[in-house]
Amino acid sequence: MSRFTPVFFALMTLVPTAGAAEPNPEDVKLAAFFRATLDEDFRRHPVYATQQGNHDHDDRLDDLSPAARAEDVKRAKELLAELPKKVDYARLSRDGQIDFEIWRHSLKSQVWAAENTDPFATDPRTYGEYMSDSVFLLFTQSTLPRERNVANAARRIAYVPKVVEAAKVSIKNPPKILTEIAIKRTAGAIAFYEKDIYEFAKETPATSELTSPCRAAVAALKEYSEYLEKVVLPKSEGDWRLGKDKFYQKLELELNAGLTGDEVIKAAEAEADRVEREMYYVAKQLWSKLFPGKALPPDDATGRHDTVKAVLDELGKDHGKPEEIVQDARKTVDKIKTFIKDKHILTLPNPDQCQIIEMPVFQRGFSAAYLNPAPPLDPKAASLYAVAPPPEDWPAARREAFLREYNRSMLQILTIHEAYPGHYVQLEYGNRNPSLIRKVLYSGVFAEGWAVYTEQMMLDQGYGDGDLALRLHQLKFYIRAVLNAILDHKMHCANMTDDEAMKLLVGRGFQTEGEAFGKVQRSKQSSCQLSTYFVGRTAFYRLRQEAQRQQGDKFDLGKYHEAVLNQGTLSVKYLPELLGVKK
């Protein structure tokens, strides 16, 4: 999963396509229009500016008052109306038209979200991005000198009490689970300002200019935590379910792939059946090696399920320790990168700027791993592949289940997805695209679809030398993506209960109890994002198959992959046209 998400109502920029000797005048006009809005947007949204790699406002935080947020909504509506007046769509080059469409679609999505959801009122987690993430970024994804980052951080931290006050004014009746996660993350933020920040900043508390603002931030955050526990939590009776009508509307905007909610759920159900059968074929071949002398279960629905489960349970025993999960993830990298180079899967980024870290506590509670890419305007900064160990407050049995889920085979698939040649590589390519709008108006469907596509592709090309245990875990990881879409739909549209969700994930998905529990919680914390994995992977898989059919013996896998990634992280619906693949 990629954590990179544009800040709400942030305005974006566009630059003309590189390589054109005579830039299209209307493309230039479109670029100028975006450029004219960018500086003001960064001034209004310092955290967004930092996320995008602009460090002119690293010493401040956003105005999160209701009045400022209302002004953001107004600006988005005005821009949506002004865009076709400022730029003649018909006179744009096709590349310019695509960027125009991407930006217009983003504005429509922002307006829809403003009119149908209000995370500042219903999701206390929203404020964490400003309270702690905004400062964490200064020390992990900025190429400015350390001393300047420290000075900026000291000034930015001083705004944390104002964020707390804004939260108190705006938070109304959130769902209970979102308040509970916010409380845990606030505890992590307190620990960050009490201790961890000095390690990231390479500062000594006794002499650092961070010390005074950090103490004030800790006091404000402790007050905020108490407010969440005593005031917000008792009244947290909001419904996390989006409901079918809003879910379908949001899904079509999120996917931007010409698919309806009905089409997605129908396709996912059919694909889950197919992948279950494939998992059985693989598990059956492993049975005699893992259970010598023991008869294979009957070839019926129950027997096939029992076969897969027993094989996965046995393979899951090969795992590391909780405190070593990050180190274990690092061990997978060299082998994967060597294979990519030797098999000409694609050209890897050079220099490699991917850092594998333990996920900070104040960012946990949503997924087991994420990739935070180098920002578009500071592309030489580090990309962070973060892995979270099982929470210490989990019961011992659940922690063990988590480790069995992320065993040594699964960690390889995870690294393929998150880093090589998944999110990290794809987003490094994306940062090279000359269109800034394709860099910052990020398509989650493209990013997640590419990452899931690479899991099977790598094994199909020979990674693992035919290791059936690795193949079975790749299929398990993929059926997780398929079930994500089913879970997403049924949790928000069909009133699926927690027990029903657990049965789906543990039963059909063969997930351990710990992983399934986390995914159920995640489905309550978001809507529609879980569907992007399956929809995106389906688009990439079909595109690859069609390109190969049309090119025949001339098809070059490495060149094909690079051509795909060179388009930027844009809606997958544009890829056939841009790559010259006939539908």
Render 185-219 in DSSP notation, one character per residue: HHHHHHHIIIIIHHHHHT--TTT-TTHHHHHHHHH
**515: confidence class by pLDDT, cuts 50, 70, 90:** confident
Distance CA 467, CA 388 (A): 26
Comparing C-alpha atoms, which of 328, 518, 516 is closest to residue 407?
A: 328
What φ, ψ does residue 517 adopt, rounded to 5°?
-60, -45
Residue 333 CB partners (closer than 8 Å, separation 6+): 356, 415, 419, 420
Q: Are 480 and 448 in contact (CB under 8 A)?
A: no
Dihedral over Cα of 331, 337, 340, 343: its sign: negative
pLDDT digits (tens, 9 = 90+) for 43-80: 999 999 999 999 999 999 999 999 999 999 999 999 99
Mean pLDDT for 130-135 is: 96
- Beta-carbon count within 10 A of 550 CB: 12
Name the residue with higher pLDDT: 22 or 329. Answer: 329
Q: Are 455 and 417 in contact (CB under 8 A)?
A: yes
Distance CA 543, CA 545 (A): 5
pLDDT digits (tens, 9 = 90+) for 87-122: 999 999 999 999 999 999 999 999 999 899 989 999
DSSP 149: H
Q: Is 526 exposed, middle or buried (0-12, 13-18, 19+ CB in 10 A)?
A: middle
Distance CA 155, CA 193 (A): 14
Phi-psi region of 464 (alpha: psi -120 to 50; beta: other; left: phi over 0): left
Distance CA 378, CA 141 (A): 8
pLDDT at 443 over 80: yes
| Residue 494 tokens, joined | 């069909």
Distance CA 37, CA 40 (A): 6
Q: What percentage of the chain exceeds 90 in pLDDT?
A: 85
Distance CA 343, CA 150 (A): 43
3-state helix, strand, coil in the chain (%, to 5): 70, 5, 30
Residue 335 CB partners (closer than 8 Å, separation 6+): 412
Residue whose entry in the numeric block shows the structure tokens 């595109």: 543
Rg of the chain over all Cα atoms, to the nearest angstrom: 24
Comparing C-alpha atoms, which of 483, 436, 391 is closest to residue 38?
A: 436
Residue 530 CB partners (closer than 8 Å, separation 6+): 484, 485, 487, 488, 522, 523
| Residue 583 tokens, joined | 């539908």
pLDDT for position 37: 82
Distance CA 23, CA 353 (A): 32
User: Amino acid identity, residue 286?
Assistant: L
Dihedral over Cα of 551, 555, 559, 564: its sign: positive
Q: Are 542 and 403 in contact (CB under 8 A)?
A: no
Comparing C-alpha atoms, which of 402, 311, 296, 420 is closest to residue 356?
A: 420
pLDDT for position 393: 80
Comparing C-alpha atoms, which of 48, 60, 61, 65 is closest to residue 13?
A: 48
Phi-psi region of 344 (alpha: psi -120 to 50; beta: other; left: phi over 0): left
pLDDT for position 4: 40
pLDDT for position 582: 87
**366: confidence class by pLDDT, cuts 50, 70, 90:** low
Comparing C-alpha atoms, which of 320, 284, 344 is closest to residue 410?
A: 320
pLDDT digits (tens, 9 = 90+) for 372-425: 999 999 999 999 999 999 888 888 888 888 889 999 999 999 999 999 999 999
User: DSSP 3-state assignment of 358?
Assistant: strand
**146: confidence class by pLDDT, cuts 50, 70, 90:** very high
pLDDT digits (tens, 9 = 90+) for 185-226: 999 999 999 999 999 999 999 999 999 999 999 999 999 999
Mean pLDDT for 353-376 is: 87
pLDDT at 2 over 80: no
